[in-house]
Structure 1
């Protein structure tokens, strides 16, 4: 549904990525860990997913995401919703980025959460944080989830296309008027290209260089891992459903 707009003084829009931006981890591995800890038999998915990883470049992100989600095979939709709601309550976010979110809320800006993570839990996260609009990767959810769920990856230019569809009146000369984008990823460069201003969260050297040329802000919140190897160790535990809290979701 298009959003009503004031063509003279349009309401500001704040666009937030989720994974790596509002919190340090990719939520897909955090959600997977939650499910595997409560249903260890679902670790079988590693026997399916891991053999495909060497071919990820050729298969593409959308196909790899479908394969990864096979850990949800045969889960009832009601159970998935229960997991998603509990998961959203468990997450810990960067205080610095939450402060930016509250600053935009105080200004009366339209708050948009736009993520490549599955929409079934992104919607719950958006509800918890009080976003006006929440967009993620739509995943087909029948009564019981199939082995490889159908989905349409909400990443890169797909985020821009969806915004154009939902709020066409807010675009002028290819830009989203009075907008500010937040992300950690070069995948969101198409999104940042339509924004008036931007803030990068813990960007890579490459993205930092791009941001410096374009005058974007940079914020570097403290991440939970101590080193690259500590991050890899925690990541391995998350995808395998090992350990009580490798993602550091609790104090």
Structure 2
């Protein structure tokens, strides 16, 4: 198996889908603008610094979904896709994914953003395999605000790939070639695990590491 792994936000997308969804809920009037934006900005800075408490963030990020209910949230997300996500997708990002698919690679999007926000985005990219933060749900199927299983964040991304392989009766030894595209220092554990790490639109810290180690640096949005 040849495995091509992609981060999503600021890697395939020139924005942060989780942050953007939060701001979209503010525009819908679901969240207090000042309070939500302040908290959203603070969590985003923690993410970029590598200090984010993922469980705390997921409780925050799913607040509007839990308050409004999944049916209403799904309808709003369809608008979000049409108004925010689809116009932002760049041809170069789509072409890169299709290039790996045409080469026969198993293409997977692996992201620290939750499944509710990201599954429709993966579908637009034509990617069936998505590893996102899975949301715990109650008896009605509504998100509880907690995380189900291992969050696909930092070292958790390595664990999730290994779980995905095991579920298919495979291990890393069965992967003849592995690549991972990411912009973020948070993804260093998985970048170090694969055979071909690609620093894609990298943040300053990752760019420095990539240059030091001779990793390929790719800018999709220039």
Q: Which runs of 5+ in 2 are unaligned?
A: none
Q: Which runs of 5+ in 1 are unaligned?
A: 1-9, 224-251
Aligned equivalents of 1:127 and 1:47: distance in 2? Answer: 28
- Are 2:105 and 1:106 equivalent residues in the alignment? no
TM-score by length of 1: 0.71
Q: 1:200·1:219 contact (CA, 8 Å) conserved in 2?
A: yes
- Are 2:198 and 1:208 equivalent residues in the alignment? no
Instruction: Sort the Cα spacing of 1:44 and 1:145 in 2 relative to 1 into closer, same or farther, 3 A.
Output: farther
TM-score by length of 2: 0.79
Which of 111, 118, 123 is matched with 2:114 structurally? 118
SS in 2 for 1:208: helix
Aligned equivalents of 2:39 and 2:128: distance in 1? Answer: 37
Structure showing greater Rg = 1
SS in 2 for 1:42: coil
Q: 1:110·1:132 contact (CA, 8 Å) conserved in 2?
A: no
Q: 1:42·1:72 contact (CA, 8 Å) conserved in 2?
A: no
Any residues of structure 2 matched to 1:85-104 within 5 Å, and which?
85-90=78-83, 91=85, 92-104=88-100
Aligned equivalents of 1:25 and 1:50: distance in 2? Answer: 18
Instruction: Sort the Cα spacing of 1:222 and 1:48 in 2 relative to 1 into closer, same or farther, 3 A.
Output: closer
Instruction: Sort the Cα spacing of 1:101 and 1:41 in 2 relative to 1 into closer, same or farther, 3 A.
Output: closer
Aligned length: 208
Cα offsets for 1:157-181 (capped at 9, x unmatched): 1111111111131412xx9541110
Q: Report the CA distance between 1:58 and its aligned residue.
A: 8.1
- Alignment correspondent of 1:231: none
SS in 2 for 1:84: helix
**CA RMSD across the alignment:** 3.1
Aligned equivalents of 2:66 and 2:164: distance in 1? Answer: 32
Q: Report the CA distance between 1:193 and its aligned residue.
A: 1.6
SS in 2 for 1:182: strand
Instruction: Sort the Cα spacing of 1:117 and 1:81 in 2 relative to 1 into closer, same or farther, 3 A.
Output: same
- Alignment correspondent of 1:158: 156
Which of 15, 20, 36 is matched with 1:25 structurally? 15
Cα offsets for 1:197-228 (capped at 9, x unmatched): 122122133212211233321122447xxxxx
Q: 1:49·1:67 contact (CA, 8 Å) conserved in 2?
A: no
